[in-house]
Amino acid sequence: MNECPISKIAGTGFAVPDKILTNQDLEKIVDTSDEWITSRTGIKTRHIVSDDVENSDLCVEASKKALDEAGVRNEDIDVIIVATVTGDVNFPATACYVQEKLGAVNAAAFDVMAACSGFIYGLNIGNGLFIANNVQNVIVIGSETLTRITNWEDRNTCVLFGDGAGAAVLQPSTGDKGILATYMKSDGRLSYLLMNPGHNPIKEYFDHEGKKMLPVINMQGREVFKYAVRSMEEAMYKVLERGNVSINDVDLLITHQANIRIIDTLAERTGINREKVYINVDRYGNTSAASVPIALDEARKKGLLPEGSLCLMTVFGGGFTWGAVLVRF
Ligand code: UT7
| Ligand 1 centroid, distance to 245 Cα (angstroms) | 35
| Ligand 1 centroid, distance to 37 Cα (angstroms) | 9
Q: Give the pLDDT confidence score for residue 212 in this predicted structure.
A: 95
- What are the tens digits of pLDDT across the range 267-282? 999 999 999 999 999 9
CATH topology of domain 7-175: Peroxisomal Thiolase; Chain A, domain 1 (3.40.47)
Chain-centroid distance of CA 310 in Å reads: 19
| Ligand 1 centroid, distance to 290 Cα (angstroms) | 22
> Model pTM?
0.97
Q: Where are the alpha helices (DSSP H) in the chain?
A: 23-27, 34-41, 55-70, 94-102, 118-132, 155-158, 221-242, 260-270, 281-284, 291-301
Superfamily of domain 179-328: Thiolase/Chalcone synthase (3.40.47.10)
Instruction: Confirm if 198 and 215 have CB atoms less than 8 A apart.
Output: yes
CA atoms within 13 A on the CB side of 282: 6
Pairing verdict, β 321-328 and 178-186: antiparallel
Q: What residues are labeled active site? A: 116, 256, 286
Test site for ligand 1: of 156, 194, 260, 261, most ligand atoms within 8 A of the Cβ: 156
Q: Give the pLDDT confidence score for residue 133 in this predicted structure.
A: 83
Q: Please say if the pLDDT value at position 1 is more than 60.
A: no
- 153 Rama class: left (phi>0) / alpha (psi -120 to 50) / beta: alpha
d(CA 83, CA 120): 9
Q: Give the pLDDT confidence score for residue 3 in this predicted structure.
A: 64
- What are the tens digits of pLDDT across the range 87-111? 999 999 999 999 999 999 999 999 9
Instruction: Confirm if 122 and 83 have CB atoms less than 8 A apart.
Output: yes
How many CB atoms are closer than 10 A to CB 263? 24
Would you give the end-to-end CA distance of the chain in angstroms? Answer: 16
| Ligand 1 centroid, distance to 315 Cα (angstroms) | 20
- Ligand 1 atom at minimum distance from 286 CA: 1
Locate the domains of the chain by residue range.
7-175, 179-328
Pairing verdict, β 7-15 and 163-172: antiparallel
Q: Please say if the pLDDT value at position 265 is more than 80.
A: yes
Pocket of ligand 1, beta carbon within 6 A: 32, 36-37, 40-41, 116, 155-156, 159, 221-222, 224-225, 228, 258-259, 262, 286, 288, 316-317
Identical fold between 7-175 and 179-328: yes
